[in-house]
Structure 1
């Protein structure tokens, strides 16, 4: 039987490292460094851009009624395909952002601390070889966030009994395995703060918020459910217990990876409004590696989607005694699941609330209080996600907005008014940039009007189309290219291929929880009575950014110095 490697290698037999761990991020447009090699380009102050363009004072709901499952699935998926980490230690390069003298929140003369990303040290040598950052995990949509991107983590998460993953028994249903006092347990972000209660998963970021932890839990339950079906129905399994366990595990892993692919391409991307070319089969010439335009700009669209609260619902739709929850209260807090009714109330709530609109606006909590309230002194406690994204784009040498449009076959914009029909947004862009060709990629991408029947703009769609077509077409194990699914059954004579054809995320939710009353397509809110989040309620929501596509990685090992090291899922 031919199964994926954990590190993503040997998927493409002609190019064995395609999609594997440690692969450099691709560039869709030439690198944009001040010296052509590695120095950040000079541009308007990132905090000034954030204050002028991205300031959001009121809730702006998605006009197409996209639910919170959209940003959550984006985060879960992001943690399957991309992870870059920051430099650390005394030699780390800093690119901190000076606070403008007229800043309305932070003290003038202070800094938002920013450290540069790790990079391939074989790059950044001369004009023909500019700096390249790399991906720590597999690029494939392969369930690495569930299973891990290396053999050691994958083995630790396994029970080695019946092909199942380890779990923690709980009155509300099985939860993720917890660390306990096992010193050999794999590293998880913020493990020092959570201690023995730390949930373990295939990706280090699984504890960032209870919604993300819930979706991780859901797919561990689903793996074990499928493993039970395989053991009960597949008659060609080995008799040897060790070989039998391995075969069941790998078959279940293959099916779960296919589920994540199916949901991404048939529910998540259509919900955003992304339309891909039809699938025509595996193409070994396609390089699936993640582009820096995607990881550093295109898939950071979720930073504009998140609201400060999570709905926490009973089966009848009423709020539980704990809800709604401030995201700050469920941030790296396993007890928000273990002590507040498990994952069911959270999964119900995600389907009930309309997310924020994808636009050039970021709620104030994310711009001014990321790690806590602003403080006086040379280094601020709080920080600014929008400013961090802009600075990270310059760190990664992202080409400017118009240059990326041109690289993707889109016409350049001549005037600010060509980008957006919103006169206030146009005026704010004009106040920041001297001309259209200076606009940073992430800023211009989000400033574009949403396309018709879409929740994203033209350039954002092009970046996502490029990445998701390459991830699909360059994957030898893509679920529509896998002949095993036309041979395997999942009980009652139903072939896996037929079952996958009609699969929706709501089916997995219903099969693994006590939830029965949930919309068929959970990426859209099916009622007009959705709660409207109050983004100015004064609640302590400053930490919620890590609930939306935030990369933290091993930076969190440096917990005592958290106010000196900003992180932004670079």
Structure 2
């Protein structure tokens, strides 16, 4: 037992644990974390009895926090430190969430890293283009036939893009674009040379250091995808009455406000799935503002807006934590882990009955616990961005169904559901029917040979075309994210020794070897799609390591989810709104007609029911 380590052994253990361990309590935590990592290597967390597997995941998270958080700095003029009492609401650009380090996580701040900085130098000009990313796209990614993820509905695919728009966006470079040579015999690309912008690197980086990149949007979980990334847009969509946002008949801000959006940002990859979620949570904002106004008539328009935004953002974070993530990683251990992130191991029922009895986030959940950035100012990471490349979730066609009788009333190829056609599609069918259609449809499985064909020949607003799969491969390479085996090594996972060990299928192994020849050259995204998945998982265990680390960090670093997640900031009504609501209640509040489709469905991101006709 660790608690019985003999005193003579303790100094040796302390020396191995590292110089940052200053007392026996920290030593025990470190030793337990190392033991958890060893047990995971020997057996695998997913094969353990769920309570033991959960303890192992806690230990893995501790190890990842200790070894896989790298601060790349915060460029720009420093801002003076503030007091939390002076900054009781979320700012548009994300500054002053961390009042001691005001630029942490704000728009324009750098992405961090989950691997050592010295491993993030992009490969040289010859190596970075090999194997040819277009060849990888056509030979390993192109969808041969649609492989559905039958445990999920299409709303789950729209949701993750909805959240990604809140978390990060890289700026394009203004010169020196990528030029991708077409492989010999590539007759499917008929649009001339394939070119696309590089990512704009931070010009203030230290000479000789690996390039670093900044996000144009706040890294915080603050709802910026609907509230706006600039003060101009945030102001333009407000009604200035009762804290509400102005919405048109499509459930979106007036069309003229779209001119204020970054055309290279979320406006460029908007589609009907995103529009449905935007309309849903913009309506939710107004419902929250109305409830606050009823409860607190003395609150000003500004106070109502700010508080409704905080409540809405917290509700979105809760939905992602306890609804979306358990749907896409539906293993009993990870379902318990994600609910534990929000409610703690004592659980939701205990929390509702007794409230928060401890500051310990493991016992009582992260919301309301002390803020903890593990000594590294908050930023999302390039590795986090890389593992969220999930375009196979998108189908090439979406059937539109009538809620009344489940009949298919139309079917649209994906290119007819994109930004330029969103308003027309919303005008053709009710949003209730569209949500029902997404609830009945499946996304694609995150696997090889399942990348949407429509995304490999994507028409751009400027008239050009893009193979998004080729872009995905090059984005990961150019930003210095290690290739698959080096990525695993950086996370203290064993290297994969052969293509067969990676894929587990001789045919797939031969395909991979024919393209890569060397197992250590396999691209991260290809390895993530090829590797076997734990039971109930939509993605593999390698990507899951980044989720273990960053899913809790997005909450634990954020003042508005930790020390300021309290009635004095959110109000009593606001706290109750977060506590009592979920994706199901949000859907049914604004679209009560969906009740029969959701009846008996355990998770709103799982496939919905076909409503039964009323009995005579």
Report TM bin, short chain.
0.7 to 0.9
Structure 1 residues 78 and 160, CA, compared in 2 at 3 Å: closer, same or farther? Answer: same
Structure 1 residues 212 and 459, CA, compared in 2 at 3 Å: closer, same or farther? Answer: same
**Aligned counterpart for 2:198 among listed residues 91, 113, 116:** 116
Structure 2 CA distance for aligned equivalents of residues 267 and 255 of structure 1: 17
Q: Which runs of 5+ in 2 are unaligned?
A: 1-84, 342-360, 362-368, 612-616
2:483 alignment counterpart: 400
1:12 alignment counterpart: 98
SS at match of 2:112: coil
Structure 1 residues 188 and 136, CA, compared in 2 at 3 Å: closer, same or farther? Answer: closer
2:596 alignment counterpart: 517
2:155 alignment counterpart: 69
**Aligned counterpart for 2:261 among listed residues 166, 187, 194:** 187
- Deviation of 1:457 after TM superposition, in Å, equals 0.4
SS at match of 2:473: helix
Q: Which runs of 5+ in 1 are unaligned?
A: 191-202, 239-243, 373-379, 491-495, 530-570
Q: Could you say which structure has the larger radius of gyration?
A: 2
1:210 and 2:272 are equivalent in the alignment: yes
Cα contact 2:583–2:604 (8 A) shared by 1: yes
1:178 and 2:264 are equivalent in the alignment: no
Cα contact 1:311–1:346 (8 A) shared by 2: no
Structure 2 CA distance for aligned equivalents of residues 523 and 485 of structure 1: 33
SS at match of 1:113: strand
- Deviation of 1:498 after TM superposition, in Å, equals 4.5
- Deviation of 1:320 after TM superposition, in Å, equals 6.0
- Deviation of 1:431 after TM superposition, in Å, equals 0.7
- Deviation of 1:417 after TM superposition, in Å, equals 1.5
Instruction: Identify which range, 205-214 or 154-163, moves more after superposition.
Output: 205-214
By relative contact order (CA 8 Å, sep 6+), the higher-ranking structure is: 1
**Aligned counterpart for 1:231 among listed residues 268, 275, 293:** 293
**Aligned counterpart for 2:446 among listed residues 358, 365, 369:** 358
- Deviation of 1:402 after TM superposition, in Å, equals 1.2
Structure 1 CA distance for aligned equivalents of residues 94 and 436 of structure 2: 34
Structure 1 CA distance for aligned equivalents of residues 232 and 570 of structure 2: 31
**Aligned counterpart for 1:328 among listed residues 389, 403, 415:** 415
- Deviation of 1:42 after TM superposition, in Å, equals 4.7
Cα contact 2:392–2:452 (8 A) shared by 1: no
Cα contact 1:96–1:115 (8 A) shared by 2: no
SS at match of 2:554: helix
**Aligned counterpart for 1:33 among listed residues 122, 126, 135:** 122
Structure 1 residues 39 and 164, CA, compared in 2 at 3 Å: closer, same or farther? Answer: farther
2:137 alignment counterpart: 50
Give the root-mean-square deviation of aligned CA atoms: 2.8
SS at match of 1:310: strand
1:197 alignment counterpart: none
Between Structure 1 and Structure 2, the one with more helix by share is: 2
Cα contact 2:180–2:194 (8 A) shared by 1: yes
Cα contact 2:311–2:577 (8 A) shared by 1: no
1:504 and 2:582 are equivalent in the alignment: yes
**Aligned counterpart for 2:213 among listed residues 133, 145, 153:** 133
Residues 248-270 of structure 1: CA deviation (Å, up to 9, x unaligned): 11111111011110001011111
Structure 2 CA distance for aligned equivalents of residues 246 and 459 of structure 1: 44
Cα contact 2:372–2:557 (8 A) shared by 1: yes
Cα contact 1:307–1:355 (8 A) shared by 2: yes
1:310 alignment counterpart: 398
Structure 1 CA distance for aligned equivalents of residues 503 and 133 of structure 2: 21
1:82 and 2:168 are equivalent in the alignment: yes
Structure 2 CA distance for aligned equivalents of residues 437 and 385 of structure 1: 24
Structure 1 CA distance for aligned equivalents of residues 605 and 393 of structure 2: 13
**Aligned counterpart for 1:390 among listed residues 430, 454, 473:** 473
1:289 and 2:371 are equivalent in the alignment: no
Structure 1 residues 425 and 528, CA, compared in 2 at 3 Å: closer, same or farther? Answer: farther
- Deviation of 1:188 after TM superposition, in Å, equals 4.9
SS at match of 2:260: coil
- Deviation of 1:363 after TM superposition, in Å, equals 3.8
Residues 388-408 of structure 1: CA deviation (Å, up to 9, x unaligned): 111111221221111111212
1:59 alignment counterpart: 146
Q: How many residues end up aligned between the 2 structures?
A: 482
- Deviation of 1:75 after TM superposition, in Å, equals 0.5
Structure 1 residues 72 and 361, CA, compared in 2 at 3 Å: closer, same or farther? Answer: same
2:39 alignment counterpart: none
Structure 1 residues 388 and 217, CA, compared in 2 at 3 Å: closer, same or farther? Answer: same
Instruction: Identify which range, 216-225 or 407-416, moves more after superposition.
Output: 407-416
Cα contact 1:79–1:205 (8 A) shared by 2: no
SS at match of 1:362: coil
Cα contact 2:396–2:452 (8 A) shared by 1: no
